[in-house]
């Protein structure tokens, strides 16, 4: 069975200490539930490399943990994650803190389902208001109210502090490295998804006449 971290092969350097670091001791405190699952797959299917699932599984579990914790510190403000994402997206857009629903959906962390209902619920609380879109009679503009702006500022302050605390186990250099790797991975995934969408739309487009 593969170890948690494989020992790298090192070329001895003249004058350097010959003792290798104890990788098992260094990483034992960081073992998590995903590693246990990977170990089980290594035993059950030694012909497969489960390491990619380790990356996916940890990203998914971290996302779930962070979302639950975010909801916990937003609850005293009477905000769900969806309502929070909506009002802070408007706040981040800058004055006049207004976006079309389609732009709001694209710029937020919300999914496409029931965006109108989510706007309705936040509007009922007096946090946003709708205005006719001067460029499109079929659409509207969603804008923060003064109460919504105040709550968005308080909520995002709590959110920043909460996420900062959850990252306390990483040094500044480790955070920078992790952010860079995640950015590289996300950029690759998004590029692939965009290319697939473009190919799909191209395949569905009607042929040009003539």
**Per residue in 44-101, pLDDT tens?**
999 999 999 999 999 999 999 999 999 999 999 999 999 999 999 999 999 999 999 8
Residue 174 backbone dihedrals phi, psi, to 5 degrees: -65, -40
> What secondary structure letter does DSSP report for 125?
T
Residue 65 and residue 20: Cα distance in Å, rounded? 35
pLDDT tops 80 at residue 205: no
* Average pLDDT of the residues in 139-152: 95
The per-residue pLDDT for 204 is 67
Do residues 43 and 1 lie in contact, with contact meaning Cβ atoms separated by under 8 Å? yes
14 vs 111, higher pLDDT? 111
Q: Which CATH number describes the domain made up of 76-165?
A: 1.10.10.10
């Amino acid at each position: 069975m593969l170890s948690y971290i494989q020992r790298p092969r090192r070329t001895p350097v003249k004058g350097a200490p010959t003792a290798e670091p104890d990788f098992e001791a260094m990483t034992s405190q960081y073992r998590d539930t995903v590693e246990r699952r990977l170990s089980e797959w290594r035993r059950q299917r030694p012909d497969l490399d489960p390491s990619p699932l380790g990356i996916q599984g940890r990203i998914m579990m971290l996302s779930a943990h962070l979302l639950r914790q975010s909801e916990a510190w937003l609850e005293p403000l009477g905000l769900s994650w969806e309502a929070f994402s909506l009002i802070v997206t408007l706040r981040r857009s800058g004055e006049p803190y207004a976006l079309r629903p389609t732009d709001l959906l694209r710029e937020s962390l919300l999914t496409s389902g029931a965006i109108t209902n989510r706007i309705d619920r936040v509007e009922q609380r007096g946090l946003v208001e709708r205005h006719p879109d001067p460029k499109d009679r079929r659409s509207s503009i969603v804008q923060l109210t003064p109460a919504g702006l105040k709550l968005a500022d308080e909520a995002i302050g709590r959110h920043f502090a909460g996420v900062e605390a959850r990252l306390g186990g990483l040094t500044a250099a480790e955070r920078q490295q992790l952010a860079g790797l995640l950015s590289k991975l996300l950029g690759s995934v998004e590029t692939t998804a965009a290319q697939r969408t473009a190919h799909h739309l191209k395949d569905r487009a009607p042929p040009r006449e003539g």
